[in-house]
Amino acid sequence: MQESATASNPKNLIEGATGKWEVVIGLEVHAQVASKSKLFSGAATAFGAEPNSHVSLVDAAMPGMLPVINAECIAQAVRTGLGLNAKINLKSVFDRKNYFYPDLPQGYQISQFKQPIVGEGEIEIDADGETLTIGIERLHLEQDAGKSVHDQHPDYSYVDLNRSGVALMEIVSKPEMRSSRQAQAYVTKLRTILRYLGTSDGDMEKGNLRADVNVSVRKPGDQLGTRCEIKNVNSIRFIGQAIETEARRQIDILEAGGKIDQETRLFDPGKGETRSMRSKEEAHDYRYFPDPDLLPLELTMDFVGELEASLPELPDAKKQRFTQEFGLSDYDATVLVAERASADYFEAVASGRDGKVAANWVINELFGRLNKEGKDIADSPVSASQLGAIVDLISSNTISGKIAKDLFEIVWSEGGDPAEIVEARGMKQVTDTGAIEKAVDEIIAANPDKVEQAKAKPTMIGWFVGQVMKVSGGKANPQAVNEILKQKLGIE
One DSSP character per residue, 73-99 reads HHHHHHHHHHHTT-PBPSEE--EEEE-
CA 147 to chain centre: 26
| C-alpha pair distances (Å), 442 with each of 158, 452, 471, 485 | 80, 16, 10, 12
Q: What is the pTM assigned to this prediction?
A: 0.86
Cβ atoms of residues 234 and 203 within 8 Å: no
Task: Single out the residue of 236, 59, 39, 31 nearest to residue 147, CA to CA.
Answer: 59
Question: 353 falls in which pLDDT band (50, 70, 90)?
Answer: very high
Question: Is residue 325 scored above 60 in pLDDT?
Answer: yes
Question: Is residue 371 scored above 50 in pLDDT?
Answer: yes
**Per-residue pLDDT, 430:** 58
Question: Is residue 434 scored above 90 in pLDDT?
Answer: no
Cβ atoms of residues 128 and 181 within 8 Å: yes
Task: Single out the residue of 299, 54, 58, 35 nearest to residue 167, CA to CA.
Answer: 35
Residues ≥6 apart with Cβ < 8 Å to 209: 29, 30, 31, 32, 187, 191, 194, 200, 202, 203, 234
* Least confident segment among 268-282, 346-360, 462-476: 462-476
d(CA 306, CA 82): 11
Question: For residues 467 and 36, which has the higher predicted lDDT (pLDDT)?
Answer: 36
**Per-residue pLDDT, 1:** 41
Average pLDDT over residues 401-408: 89
Question: Is residue 3 scored above 70 in pLDDT?
Answer: no
Task: Single out the residue of 229, 22, 232 nearest to residue 144, CA to CA.
Answer: 232
Cβ atoms of residues 260 and 224 within 8 Å: no
Question: For residues 95 and 453, which has the higher predicted lDDT (pLDDT)?
Answer: 95
Average pLDDT over residues 311-315: 97
| C-alpha pair distances (Å), 317 with each of 131, 196, 202, 322 | 15, 12, 21, 9
Query: Which parts of 362-470 are beta strand (E)?
Result: none
**Per-residue pLDDT, 489:** 75
Mean pLDDT across the chain: 91
d(CA 272, CA 253): 17
Kindly report the number of other CB atoms within 10 A of residue 159's CB atom. 18
Percent of the chain surpassing pLDDT 90 = 76
